[in-house]
Chain A
Amino acid sequence: MSTWLNRQRALADFTLAAMGRRRIKNAALVMVYALVVFLLASAMFFAASLRHEMHQVLAEAPELTVQRLIMGRQDLIDAAAAERIGAIRGVSQARPRLWGYYYDRISGANYTVMVPDDPDLMPPPGEVMIGEGIPRARGFTWDGAPLFLSRHLGDLQRFNVARTFGTDSALMSADLILMTEADFRAFFGIPEGLFTDVVARVRNPNELGKIVEKAAIANPDLRFVTRDDIERTYQKLFDWREGLMAALAGAAVLAFVIFAAEKASGLSAEESREIGILKAIGWDTRDVIAMKLWEGGLVSFGAFLIGTIAAYAHVFVFKGALFAPVLRGWAVIYPDFTLTPQIDGLQILTLGLLTTLPYVAATVVPIWRRASADPDAVMR
């Protein structure tokens, strides 16, 4: 074992010394390679963390959302529907919700307007609680500036801001406006007794499928959306965005592998001569390949390490500044939030294999052809 270790150490020492001769070239190679890893790792870290945030948020969400459909479009639902849903066997609680969107012509942003369930989040009449993105979108210059909302030309509704949410909940609340039920109905003109939708909780989540099946038959005008449906939709959205980034980074990886293969197959006369010398003085084909594996390993592992650490800093310290717009969606209000690092071993292993193996293979295979020739033939 120690002989094997000594041999590996000697080969690694030679590799390092040999690489040291072309410092700038090798450093440039590592940097280009690290950039490719950085792109790929950033996309993976960002998407994984968004998925984690989504799971966290949806874990608290009710299992079932019920909407009323008319001609395939969502319509307001009456309070009686909430009672009907609550009466379904297996449903523990059903309550109607009031929420909607408000398009702000001034900032060009869409706000989500809601009547909160939580009494702690209920503002006094005539006042609102707002997400941190709204003062930014509106350009509020001082604390306590009132929020004016206009539904049409000539209309102006004033709301005092009771509270502005912090950035810790920004992923969910950046564009949120909370107001009382009376203010909501007055602002949007929603008659008493009508609601946006109904949310329900079930006693045993394992029975959800059956409950939805029965409820849908009994209420053909209602649409039942489960938490899993919502999660799947988000998942698809994130996967699509991650896929977009991964495809771009994948193209970069491919370009890099072609570059590496080109570099390795076009061995310089000097490198060929060196392989000949090494074989002549007693290096085996395996030794030459092991040396090249060390070289490929050092370059790719170094690039992997630099790229991964830079991606970690990019995503979790600098909030994915470079491609957050692509990954978190297109909007006027970008939530100002810090992602929680979510990295697992499998993710790192996948990234490592995706980035190091193609390079090592691309550099070792052409060397193998050269190194397996007779030393006399290599030297001539």
Chain B
Amino acid sequence: MITLSAVTKLYNEGRPNEVQALRGIDLTLAPGALSVLKGPSGSGKSTLLSIVACMARPTSGRVTLNGETVSGLPERFQTELRRTTFGFIFQRFNLIRGLSVLENVILPAAPTGEPRARVIERAMERLAALDLTPRALTPVEHLSGGEAQRAAIARALINDPPILIADEPTANLDTALTERFLDILRAERAAGRTLIVTSHDPRIWGAEGVDAVIELRDGRITHEITGGVA
């Protein structure tokens, strides 16, 4: 269970170019659910996602994870959470160019000190499940959009995090690839993972299996549907 209480976020605080990205957000995200944050560009979706995932700190307010406050944790513990609790799929996938798919996938496991052979075995299983085995040694810049996204999914899942986060995952995908992505999301949800996705793509927030849709505008929640959408 993730809860946000009166969360605000200011960028460039106190400067002429100050921006208030979030204004008093109160939100509860259920465990094991597929929640979608929707809204136009600049509505605060990605900022909210960053704060939930301990990548940024709220200017005020509090974020708790399973009852524990995480928003005020020191950097080291937030990093630990990012490594063990959250898996990320970034909008532009953010794979590291020049490295192979396999090298990218095992990156989040590097600081864990887990034996390399075991990490590689798990990575190959993930790649096999995502039909990427033949591309394991291919440099990521040679992948198609769909392949790059699946590589990003494999990387997000390598440490088996209970929460998977995706920021605008279908922004660059056609319908077939979007459907493929939704299938993967549903499979992960069925496996018990909590999924939080931002999107302004109706194919995502209107899809079967979405448990909650939270609409944001100008840093505020304007609409919230929970308990099954489609």
Contacts and interface: CB of A to CB of B under 8 A. Distances in A.
A6 B115 contact: yes
Interface residues of A, number: 34
Contacts of A6: 113-116
Interface stretch (A9-17, A108-116, A155-163): A9-17
A20 B155 CA distance: 21
Contacts of B108: 281-283
Nearest to B114: A6
B103 interface: yes
B57 interface: yes
Nearest to A8: B113
B55 A375 contact: yes
A289 to B, nearest CB: 12
Contact of B55 (A274, A372, A374): A374
A284 B79 contact: yes
A287 interface: yes
Nearest to A278: B107
Contacts of A379: 55, 94
Interface in A354-380: 372, 374-377, 379
Contacts of B55: 280, 374-376, 379
A268 to B, nearest CB: 12
Interface string B101-124: 001001111111111100100000
B94 A282 contact: no
B112 A7 contact: yes
A280 B110 contact: no
A280 B159 contact: no
Interface residues of B, number: 35
Nearest to A20: B98
A287 B156 CA distance: 18
A18 B110 contact: no
Contact of A281 (B76, B99, B103, B107): B107
Contacts of A277: 90, 94, 96
B205 interface: no
Contacts of A278: 107
Contacts of B115: 2, 6
B79 A279 contact: yes
Contacts of A5: 113
A280 B107 CA distance: 11
A206 interface: no
B114 to A, nearest CB: 6
Contact of A3 (B88, B103, B110, B113): B113
A73 interface: no
B83 interface: yes
A294 to B, nearest CB: 11
B112 A17 contact: no
B133 interface: no
A10 B50 contact: no
A281 B116 contact: no
B98 A282 contact: no
B99 A18 contact: yes
A14 B113 contact: no
Interface string B158-202: 010000000000000000000000000000000000000000000
A3, A9, A282 — which one has the most chain B CB atoms within 10 A of its CB? Answer: A282
A317 B197 CA distance: 67
B103 A7 contact: no
A283 B112 CA distance: 9
A142 interface: no
Contacts of A274: 96
B82 interface: yes
A21 interface: yes
Interface in A316-375: 372, 374-375
Contacts of B75: 284-285, 372
Interface in A1-38: 2-7, 9-11, 13-14, 17-18, 20-21
Given A18-B98, A376-B55, A7 B88 contact: no
A17 to B, nearest CB: 5
B56 interface: yes
A7 B114 CA distance: 7
B56 A374 contact: yes
B60 interface: no
B80, B83, B94, B116 — which one has the most chain A CB atoms within 10 A of its CB? Answer: B94
Contact of B113 (A7, A17, A18, A374): A7
Contacts of B100: 17
Interface string A266-303: 00001001100111111111010000000000000000
Nearest to A4: B113
A271 to B, nearest CB: 11
A281 B83 contact: yes
Nearest to B112: A7
14 contacts: A2-B113, A3-B113, A6-B116, A7-B110, A7-B111, A17-B98, A277-B94, A277-B96, A280-B82, A282-B80, A283-B108, A375-B56, A375-B82, A376-B50
- List 10 A-B pairs, minimum CB-CB distance, nearest first: A282-B83, A3-B113, A21-B98, A376-B56, A10-B110, A7-B113, A281-B108, A6-B113, A376-B55, A287-B111
Interface of B: 50, 55-57, 75-76, 79-80, 82-84, 88, 90, 94, 96-100, 103, 106-116, 119, 155-156, 159
